[in-house]
């Protein structure tokens, strides 16, 4: 490409980026003459240069825009959002034209008569009707290829700081950075530039990279020399080496500076993005940017630009509410998105916060279960903070509707990956109704990081300082000591249990030393995961130059790179993310949910279920479907209290009733008592057992129907006669109203009847399915109406449908209506509705949409009776 043209493209794209920013500012502050002049001059320059280079189409468009701006400047036209939109539209067209110019080196054919006519009409003052026509279109202009302000162009050039003004080639170019210059009449500008231009040069990025690499090597060599010097007293080299030390540091700093750019460069597009979004979404958003002058490495800047844009878009789209909602919530009509950047201990912290509605934990939970990332049991064990982390999972979006802006299910995971790729971390705080705050912490530069050097099994490793929270020295005699649960080390740290990872074991460097030994623990934080790494020794921190590992070692995810230390030896750099993944700290929830899913899927095909085997009240093993059990706990018998003569225990801030299978059993005074915790939404119940035996996968074939209350019957589980307990019986003991009145008995002998059970609560599905199975029905479950209808499409045949009414998505009424639709496979199938609260009006409505019968959800007896009745009446009529 022609040098002149290349120069023009680089410069013009810079100018355009600036115009974007300044126009938005102007819109908010229409009477600022400085801004106006600056924009006017930039557009004028573009026009002038285009004329000079023989680009008539661009020139004409810029000229028309300049006319309007001229009228603004002279006060002949008011600055209105419509007018600004029109200018922005022409700027966008210019961008598109420039992109074509860059790709083909020729101006795109065609003309912009329509736009120019609009601009001229605006300039002449009869803008109103024209503007109303054009206004709705302009918000979509972001699709046009946009010139990033500070990305190197295809030739790898990047403006060095002062070089925004470096444009010796085009004599007519005034400095775009106009705020620093006095406003001058246009005629004078052409000749005033050479002095400014000669103060800066454009340097290719490669050259700077190269310099940086060499400086890094010099730093390493310096470190090595200093290490040698430390061991030699009174050396003649001492003084010159000190000098070398200082010079090297200064050189390193200087070279780093050439790569540093203010973070504001990465933000320059954001005001425009937010403005367009707020128009599109009908929201009022104020974007505040603090610390735009904070500098960071160009390479880092490039890498965080897209994630930042995405996060701001997210805040605008999901975070900030529409004005009406805000007023209702007692907030100001205008929402605020705050970008704040600052230095903190060798890192840069970027905050993206908004005062919008915050993250809805309940929606995240629902979505996590729906998408199979976690089970409800998993979620019950998680803190809100851990649940929020789901938004960083691939394919996760809680946006109820997919907008053009976000909610496409790609995004936050990519943001997180990109930030972690450059050794950064993302943290998230959110209060529902108050807003969210993302904290991004990234290293100042990628080339040199500060790392903690540790030793394990005689080998040294570097751990990036950014992830290290603290160091703990554990020994048998100190306050901290390593404890073990089934050989898994943990540490009590400030009243919490910190999972520990033995570096020795993780890296397969041999077996752990005796636990009595002292150990150093490096406490690591990666995202929301905290864990400790056990090492043998901790040295000091060192500035290291990260070098990529050799391709044949790149598959080892525990290392993010390697480096050469001051003493010349090579050490591997541990990747805390890799360690966390390896030990399952991060993906534990995910994988257990996945396993669960797999298991459930399997359960569907071969009828197998996970069963928890335990012993209580006699030697025969008892079994309960594992999916019904929320948690296994051990409680201290001393903590058992009695309320109304029934044992209760304080559990998670509430009183939980304890129920024993053997009514006469008394809890012996001391020691711990294993219990099975069943919970459904708010309520929990503890079932006292003697011993937990095992978890097995097997099919429940209840062979003998039980005569005793509390048992469903006996079954052969892994070759042994096992009593399958009736959870419902014990739940009812704990809460009289859990199911309504209890009565046990054997039901229906007709095993041919196929029942489709639709209920969104896995708890009730798992509870009713075995019950119905025992009563002799063949049960198929679906957790929502949509899935159930899918079964219809697939041609499954059922004798009766039992469905919940309150379900997310399609409710029971709509589901029934869909089933009853004429010609449907199931249109004649009896439909029994379950509901926790049946009012006469509900019942009436139910009959209207085609419910055959209506049963209160917790009344099992009634359900079974109704089923029998319904099916026999069908038989009779058939």
Partner 1 sequence: MTDNLPTKATNKLPAAVAEVASREFVTMFIAGQMFGIPVLQVQDVLGPQKITRVPLAPPEVAGSLNLRGRIVTAIDVRVRLGLPPRDGGKDMSIVADHGGEFYSLIVDQVGEVMSLPAADYEKNPSTLDERWREVSDGIYRLKDSLLIILDVQRLLRLEAAVAA
Q: Residue numbers of the site for partner 1 (CB under 8 A)?
A: 217, 220-221, 459-460, 507-509, 547, 550-556, 558-559, 562-564, 568-572
* Token pair of 168 as six digits: 């010796």
Question: Are 534 and 554 a contacting pair, CB within 8 Å?
Answer: no
Please, which residue, 342 or 539, has the CB nearer to partner 1? 539
Q: How far is the CB of 547 from partner 1 (least distance, A)?
A: 5
Q: How far is the CB of 506 from partner 1 (least distance, A)?
A: 8
Please, which residue, 462 or 734, has the CB nearer to partner 1? 462
- If we measure between CA atoms, which residue out of 61, 78, 94, 96 comes closest to residue 26? 78
DSSP 8-state code for residue 315: I
Please, which residue, 129 or 508, has the CB nearer to partner 1? 508
Please, which residue, 137 or 554, has the CB nearer to partner 1? 554
Q: How far apart are CA 468 and CA 530, in angstroms?
A: 10
Q: How far is the CB of 208 from partner 1 (least distance, A)?
A: 15
Please enumerate in sequence order all residues whose Cβ is within 8 A of that of 348, keeping only pairs 6 or more positions apart, or say none.
263, 294, 296, 300, 341, 342, 441, 442, 443, 444
425 φ, ψ (degrees, to nearest 5): -135, 150
- Buried b / exposed e along 139-158 (16+ C-beta atoms within 10 A): bebeebebbbbbbbeeeebb
Please enumerate in sequence order all residues whose Cβ is within 8 A of that of 365, keeping only pairs 6 or more positions apart, or say none.
376, 379, 387
Please, which residue, 555 or 666, has the CB nearer to partner 1? 555
**Strand partners for 800:** 755
Q: How far is the CB of 193 from partner 1 (least distance, A)?
A: 32
Q: How far apart are CA 302 and CA 536, in angstroms?
A: 39
Please, which residue, 557 or 691, has the CB nearer to partner 1? 557
Number of residues that make up the chain: 878
Please, which residue, 317 or 575, has the CB nearer to partner 1? 575
Please, which residue, 119 or 453, has the CB nearer to partner 1? 453
Please, which residue, 104 or 569, has the CB nearer to partner 1? 569
Please, which residue, 367 or 504, has the CB nearer to partner 1? 504
CA 789 from centre of chain = 32
Q: How far is the CB of 750 from partner 1 (least distance, A)?
A: 55
* Token pair of 429 as six digits: 């705080």
Write the DSSP assignment of 494-547 as a string of letters: TTEEEEEEEHHHHTT--PPPPTTS-EEEEEEEETTEEEEEEESEEEEEEEEE-B
CA-derived radius of gyration, the chain:
35
Please, which residue, 322 or 564, has the CB nearer to partner 1? 564
Please, which residue, 543 or 842, has the CB nearer to partner 1? 543
Q: How far apart are CA 110 and CA 92, in angstroms?
A: 16
* Token pair of 832 as six digits: 């029994």
CA 597 from centre of chain = 22
Q: How far is the CB of 360 from partner 1 (least distance, A)?
A: 40
In Å, the largest CA–CA distance within the chain is 111
- If we measure between CA atoms, which residue out of 564, 625, 591 comes closest to residue 764? 625
- Buried b / exposed e along 690-725 (16+ C-beta atoms within 10 A): bebeeebebebebeebbeeebbbbbbebeeeebbbb
- If we measure between CA atoms, which residue out of 838, 681, 626, 864 comes closest to residue 757? 864
Tokens 């010079």 belong to residue: 247
CA 62 from centre of chain = 43
* Token pair of 807 as six digits: 């379900």
* Token pair of 321 as six digits: 């509410």
- If we measure between CA atoms, which residue out of 265, 158, 153 comes closest to residue 202? 158
The phi-psi region of residue 771 (left if phi > 0; otherwise alpha if psi is between -120 and 50; otherwise beta) is alpha
- If we measure between CA atoms, which residue out of 210, 215, 223, 209 comes closest to residue 564? 223
Question: Kind of pairing, strands 754-758 and 800-804?
Answer: parallel
Please enumerate in sequence order all residues whose Cβ is within 8 A of that of 243, keeping only pairs 6 or more positions apart, or say none.
none
**What are the CA-CA distances from residue 577 to residues 514, 573, 574 (Å)?**
28, 12, 9
Q: How far is the CB of 463 from partner 1 (least distance, A)?
A: 14
Q: How far is the CB of 557 from partner 1 (least distance, A)?
A: 9
Q: How far is the CB of 569 from partner 1 (least distance, A)?
A: 6
Please, which residue, 554 or 875, has the CB nearer to partner 1? 554
Please, which residue, 544 or 779, has the CB nearer to partner 1? 544
Q: How far is the CB of 509 from partner 1 (least distance, A)?
A: 6
DSSP 8-state code for residue 683: E
Please, which residue, 554 or 821, has the CB nearer to partner 1? 554
Query: How many CA within 13 A on the CB side of residue 2?
Result: 11
Cα dihedral 333, 340, 471, 413 sign:
positive
Please, which residue, 115 or 573, has the CB nearer to partner 1? 573
């Amino acid at each position: 490409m022609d040098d002149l043209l290349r120069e023009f493209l680089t410069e013009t794209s810079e100018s355009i980026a600036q115009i974007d920013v300044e126009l938005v500012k102007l819109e908010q502050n229409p009477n600022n003459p400085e801004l106006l002049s600056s924009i006017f001059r930039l557009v004028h320059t573009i026009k002038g240069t285009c004329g000079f280079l023989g680009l008539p189409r661009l020139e004409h468009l810029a000229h028309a825009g300049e006319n309007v701006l001229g009228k603004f400047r002279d006060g002949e036209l008011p600055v209105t959002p419509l007018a600004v939109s029109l200018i922005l539209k022409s700027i966008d067209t210019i961008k598109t034209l420039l992109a074509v110019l860059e790709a083909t080196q020729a101006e795109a054919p065609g003309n912009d008569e329509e736009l120019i006519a609009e601009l001229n009409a605006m300039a002449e003052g009869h803008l109103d009707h024209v503007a109303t026509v054009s206004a709705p279109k302009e918000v979509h202009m972001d699709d046009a290829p946009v010139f990033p302000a500070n990305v190197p162009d295809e030739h790898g050039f990047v403006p060095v700081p002062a070089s925004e003004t470096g444009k010796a080639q085009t004599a007519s170019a005034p400095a775009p950075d106009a705020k620093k210059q006095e406003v001058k009449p246009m005629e004078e500008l052409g000749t005033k530039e050479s002095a400014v231009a000669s103060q800066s040069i454009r340097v290719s990025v490669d050259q700077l990279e190269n310099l940086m690499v060499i400086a890094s090597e010099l730093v390493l060599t310096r470190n090595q020399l200093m290490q040698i010097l430390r061991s030699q007293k009174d050396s003649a080299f001492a003084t010159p080496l000190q000098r070398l030390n200082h010079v090297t540091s200064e050189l390193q700093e200087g070279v780093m500076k050439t790569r540093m750019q203010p973070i504001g460069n990465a933000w320059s597009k954001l005001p425009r993005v937010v403005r367009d979004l707020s128009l599109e979404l009908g929201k009022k958003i104020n974007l505040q940017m603090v610390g735009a002058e904070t500098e960071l490495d160009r390479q880092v800047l490039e890498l965080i630009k897209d994630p930042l844009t995405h996060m701001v878009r997210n805040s605008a789209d999901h975070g900030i509410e529409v004005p009406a909602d805000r007023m209702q919530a007692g907030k100001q009509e205008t929402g605020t998105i705050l970008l704040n950047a600052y230095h903190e201990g060798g890192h840069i912290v970027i905050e993206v916060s908004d005062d919008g509605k915050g993250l809805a934990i309940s929606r995240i939970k629902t979505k996590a279960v729906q998408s199979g990332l976690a089970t409800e049991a998993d979620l019950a064990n998680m803190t809100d903070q851990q649940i929020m982390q789901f938004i960083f999972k691939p394919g996760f979006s809680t946006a109820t509707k997919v907008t053009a802006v976000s909610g496409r299910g790609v995004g936050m995971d990519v943001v997180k990956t990109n930030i972690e790729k450059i050794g950064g971390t993302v943290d998230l705080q959110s209060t529902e109704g108050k807003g969210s705050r993302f904290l991004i912490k990234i290293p100042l530069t990628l080339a040199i990081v500060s790392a903690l050097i540790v030793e394990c099994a005689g080998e040294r490793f570097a751990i990036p300082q950014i992830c290290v929270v603290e160091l703990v020295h554990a020994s048998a005699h100190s306050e901290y000591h390593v404890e073990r649960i089934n050989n898994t080390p943990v540490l009590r740290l400030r009243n919490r249990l910190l999972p520990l990872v033995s570096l020795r074991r993780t890296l397969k460097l041999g077996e752990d030393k005796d636990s009595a030994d002292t150990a150093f623990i490096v406490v690591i934080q990666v995202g929301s995961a905290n864990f400790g790494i056990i090492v043998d020794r901790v040295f000091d921190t060192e500035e290291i130059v990260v070098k990529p590992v050799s391709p044949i070692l790149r598959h080892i995810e525990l290392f993010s790179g390697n480096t050469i230390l001051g003493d010349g030896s090579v050490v591997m750099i541990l990747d805390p993310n890799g360690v966390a993944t390896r030990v399952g700290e991060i993906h534990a929830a995910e994988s257990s949910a996945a396993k669960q899913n797999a298991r459930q899927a399997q359960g569907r095909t071969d009828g197998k279920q996970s069963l928890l085997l335990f012993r209580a009240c006699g030697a025969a093993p008892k079994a309960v479907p594992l999916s019904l059990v929320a948690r296994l706990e051990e409680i201290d018998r001393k903590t058992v209290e009695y309320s109304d003569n029934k044992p209760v225990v304080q559990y998670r801030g509430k009183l939980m009733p304890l129920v024993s299978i053997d009514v006469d059993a008394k809890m012996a005074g001391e020691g711990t008592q294993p219990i099975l915790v069943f919970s459904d939404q708010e309520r929990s119940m503890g079932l006292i057992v003697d011993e937990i035996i095992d978890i097995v996968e097997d099919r429940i074939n209840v062979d003998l129907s039980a005569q005793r209350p509390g048992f469903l019957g006996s079954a052969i589980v892994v070759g042994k006669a096992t009593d399958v307990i009736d959870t419902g019986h014990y739940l009812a003991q704990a809460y009289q109203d859990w199911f309504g009145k209890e009565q046990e008995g054997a039901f229906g002998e007709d095993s041919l009847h196929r029942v489709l059970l639709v209920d969104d609560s896995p708890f009730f599905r798992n509870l009713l399915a075995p019950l119905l199975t025992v009563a002799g029905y063949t049960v198929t479950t679906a957790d929502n109406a949509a899935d159930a209808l899918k079964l219809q499409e697939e041609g499954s045949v059922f004798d009766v449908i039992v469905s919940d009414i309150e379900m997310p998505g399609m409710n029971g009424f709509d589901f029934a209506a869909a089933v009853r639709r004429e010609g449907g496979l199931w249109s004649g199938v009896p439909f029994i509705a379950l509901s926790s609260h049946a009012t006469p009006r509900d019942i009436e409505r139910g009959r209207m949409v085609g419910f055959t019968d209506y049963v209160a959800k917790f009344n099992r007896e009634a359900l079974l009776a109704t089923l029998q009745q319904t099916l026999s009446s069908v038989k009779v009529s058939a």
